[in-house]
Amino acid sequence: MSVSAVIVAAGSGERLGQDRPKALVEVGGEPMVRHAALRLLAGGADELVVVHPARLSLEFARVLDDLVGVTLVVGGATRTGSVRAGVAASDSDAELIAIHDAARPFIPSKCVRMAIASVAGQAIAAAPALPVADTLKRPTPEGRIRTVDRADLWAVQTPQVVRADVYRAVLDWAPGEHTTDDLGLVESAIDAGVVEGKIVLVPGDPRALKITYPRDLMMAEAVLAAERARRG
Ligand code: CTP
Ligand code: MG
77-119 residue pLDDT tens: 999 999 999 999 999 999 999 999 999 999 999 999 999 999 9
d(CA 89, CA 48): 10
pLDDT at 125 (0 to 100): 98
H-helix or E-strand spanning residue 183: helix 182-191
Coil, helix or strand for 48?
A: strand
* 32-42 vs 109-120: helix crossing angle, rounded to 10: 50
Categorize the per-residue pLDDT at 180 as very low, low, confident or very high, splitting at 50, 70 and 90: confident
| Nearest ligand atom owner, CA of 103 | 1
Categorize the per-residue pLDDT at 5 as very low, low, confident or very high, splitting at 50, 70 and 90: very high
DSSP secondary structure letter of residue 47: E
How many CA atoms, within 13 angstroms, populate the side-chain half-sphere of residue 15?
9
Lowest mean pLDDT among 10-24, 108-122, 218-232: 218-232
Give tens-digit pLDDT for 28-58.
999 999 999 999 999 999 999 999 999 999 9
pLDDT at 164 (0 to 100): 98
pLDDT at 176 (0 to 100): 81
Region 176-193: mean pLDDT is 90
pLDDT at 71 (0 to 100): 98
Region 131-158: mean pLDDT is 94
In this predicted structure, the answer to whether residue 151 has a pLDDT above a threshold of 90 is: no
Give residue ranges with CB within 6 A of ligand 1. Answer: 8-15, 22-23, 51, 75-79, 81-82, 101-103, 212
d(CA 6, CA 160): 10
143 CA to centre of ligand 1 in angstroms: 33
Categorize the per-residue pLDDT at 232 as very low, low, confident or very high, splitting at 50, 70 and 90: confident
Q: Which atom of ligand 1 sits closest to the CA of residue 14?
A: 29
11 CA to centre of ligand 2 in angstroms: 6
CB atoms within 10 A of CB 42: 14
Categorize the per-residue pLDDT at 213 as very low, low, confident or very high, splitting at 50, 70 and 90: very high
Whole-model pTM? 0.96
d(CA 52, CA 222): 26
Categorize the per-residue pLDDT at 132 as very low, low, confident or very high, splitting at 50, 70 and 90: very high
Cα dihedral 115, 178, 174, 5 sign: negative
Question: How many whole angstroms from its chain centre is CA 5?
Answer: 9
d(CA 79, CA 101): 9
pLDDT at 178 (0 to 100): 79
Q: Would you say 83 and 182 are in contact if contact means Cβ atoms under 8 Å apart? A: yes
| Residue of minimum CA distance from atom 16 in ligand 1 | 101
Q: Which atom of ligand 1 sits closest to the CA of residue 212?
A: 19
pLDDT at 119 (0 to 100): 97
C-alpha distances in Å from residue 181, one per residue of 20, 57, 196? 24, 25, 19
